[in-house]
Structure 1
Amino acid sequence: MSAKNAKTVLPAVAMTAVSMVLTLAVVVMWLGAAVPWPVALVVGLGIDGGWLATLAYERRLAAQGDHSRIVTGIGWSFGLVAASVLVAHALTAEASAAWLAVAWLPIAAKALWLVHGLWERTALTPVALDAIRGIGQEARDEAAVARARLRADATTEETRLTAVTAAGARVARVQARTAKTLSRAWSTLETARQGEETGRALTSVTTPVTPGVTPRWELPVWGPTQPVPALTLEAGPALTDEALDVLVDEIRTSEIPALSYREMAARFRAAGHSASEVRLRAAWKRVA
């Protein structure tokens, strides 16, 4: 008998033994006044023997993994008879309270045997218990690893979000400073453009360099820009050297005195003719 098995079977055995002794004593005392004591002893031993026999048969069936409702019912009947004998004696005896206090022992003994039978049907071997403990420990280990992984992922994500947020804040601050600087610069340009003396001052600076030319000074304006369409130039047919010489001579001698090379070249190009600078200068040398 194992130690764990003894925890349930020993109380049942002790309760059964006390119940049998009390039942035998009560039967002998109760029936001893009416019948000879050997007869009373036989009656008491019969009740206890029948109870013990049915209990032994129940235990045998339980060891085989079987169960019989008839045997169980007979066992409970003997237990009820024993309890009834004790209750009847308690009601007729002088110290009825004391006898009533122990009248429940047969029923309690049967209940303890029932608990022991349930424990045996649900008991597991040490190998199975070790396997269950191993499975439980493995499940706890996996849960702990999963929690640690989740905490690590959460920490990593928090660190990444913190870094991204800090970088975004730095970019926003740089953009704000840049916008502020550009705003001040455009404000300065706008003030210069709106000034009455700005164009006059710039013209006075450029007049000695470009005499007879009055430039138009316009500073950049803060605002949306319009795309400028690309210029499309249609190149005419290339001039031969003879045709080029004729044009150069006509333009040079169109006025008196004859035009200089620079004035001739400007009028040549203003008229829409096309020629490289090398050919144009060679034609000038030929006709002049």
Structure 2
Amino acid sequence: MKGKTVLPAVAMTAVSMVLTLAVVVMWLGTAMPWPVALVVGLGIDGGWLATLAYERRLAAQGDHSVPVTVVGWCFGAVATGVLVAHALTVDHSTGAWLAVAWLPLAAKALWLVHGLWERTALTASALGAIRGIQQEARDEAAVARARLRAQAATEETRLTAVTGAGARVARVQARTARTLSDAWSTLEEARDGEDTGRALASVTAPVTPGVTPCWELPVWGPTEPVAAPALEAGPQLTDTALEALVDEIRHSRTPALSYREMAARFRAAGHSASEVRLRAAWKRVAA
């Protein structure tokens, strides 16, 4: 990686130094002996090279000197000025010489870029650690995205299942309601039919002689719970007393009360008896 910045700077510096030396020898060689012109060219290139070497030494030590940097840029400006002056004084190829006159300053700029790169360069281990951290962050982000997608899919499946189950329950409830409604209508029609009384009488007369049959439809809807009898309602009735009480309540109205009405009045009067004993007494009285 270091060669990507230092090699262009070295190449540009060598080209600009050769070009400067050649221009000084060709330009000043006509006005003075060429050895003198060669010394002038080497002086410009030597001063530039010396300041560059000193700058590189300070950079290797982590230091920086403003005066040395200023002197180096001055040598670069002198070399550029020589090239520009030569390009303006020649009679031919002025544009070509001006096109290469910026090479000394370009070489100084490349060394500046290389110095900035050195101050921000990292070691291979540091770069490896950074790549590992970045890869770990990408892995965690990918895992988090996968987890969110899986959770979203699971929630979608759950909602679909719950919705389907709710729809099935609603359909079953609707079918049950229709069945109950049809059964209720059938019971209503049977109760309100003209032959219902005769059919009930013919069925119940052999079993319960002297009892007027009364068929009541079951209660379908909200009901009120019957209060439990108090514990201190009194001593338990004997079978004989219970039968007498049931018969009295049953025949307290004409026609005789049904078992449900009798049981309700029995509880309302404050009497206490289990449902089994009360129903057995009713059957004995009704028989």
TM-score (norm 2): 0.75
- Residue 113 of structure 1: CA displacement? 0.6
1:87 matches 2:81: no
Residue 74 of structure 1 and its aligned partner are, at CA, apart by 1.4
SS in structure 2 opposite 1:40?
A: helix
Paired position in structure 2 for 1:198? 196
Alpha-carbon offset, residue 183 of structure 1:
1.6
Task: Work out the CA distance in 2 between the residues paired with 1:235 and 1:205.
Answer: 40
Counterparts of 1:10 and 1:268, CA distance in 2: 122
Amino acid at match of 2:218: P
What aligned pairs does 1:22-33 form with structure 2 within 5 A after superposition?
A: 22-33=19-30
Please say which of residues 72-81 and 192-201 is displaced more in the overlay. 192-201
- TM-score scaled by length of structure 1: 0.74
Larger radius of gyration: 1
CA contact (8 A) 1:90 1:96 kept: yes
2:115 — aligned with what?
Answer: 117
- Say which of 65, 68, 71 aligns to 1:74: 71
Alpha-carbon RMSD: 2.9
The answer for the alignment partner of 1:166 in structure 2 is 164
Q: 1:176 aligns with which of 174, 177, 183?
A: 174
Please give the secondary structure, in 2, of the residue aligned with 1:133: helix
1:56 matches 2:49 = no
User: 1:158 corresponds to which letter in structure 2?
Assistant: E
Q: Once the 2 structures are TM-superposed, how far is the Cα of residue 266 of structure 1 from its aligned partner?
A: 4.6
* Aligned counterpart, 1:213: 211
Moved more, 104-113 or 158-167: 158-167
| Structure 1 unaligned regions, length at least 5 | 240-261, 272-288
Structure 1 residues 230 and 214, CA, compared in 2 at 3 Å: closer, same or farther? farther
| 5+ residue gaps, structure 2 | 250-287
For residues 237 and 166 of structure 2, the distance between their equivalents in structure 1, rounded to whole angstroms, comes to 60
Give the paired residue count.
Answer: 244
| Aligned residue number for residue 246 of structure 1 | none
Residue 51 of structure 1 contacts residue 79 of structure 1 at CA under 8 Å; is this kept in 2?
Answer: yes
Secondary structure at the aligned position of 2:2 is classed as helix
Aligned residue in 2 for 1:132: 130
Deviation at 1:83, TM superposition (A): 1.0
SS of match in other structure, 2:62: coil
User: Sequence identity, in percent?
Assistant: 79
Question: Which amino acid is the alignment partner of residue 87 of structure 1?
Answer: V
Rounded to whole Å, the distance in 2 between the matches of 1:157 and 1:236 is: 63
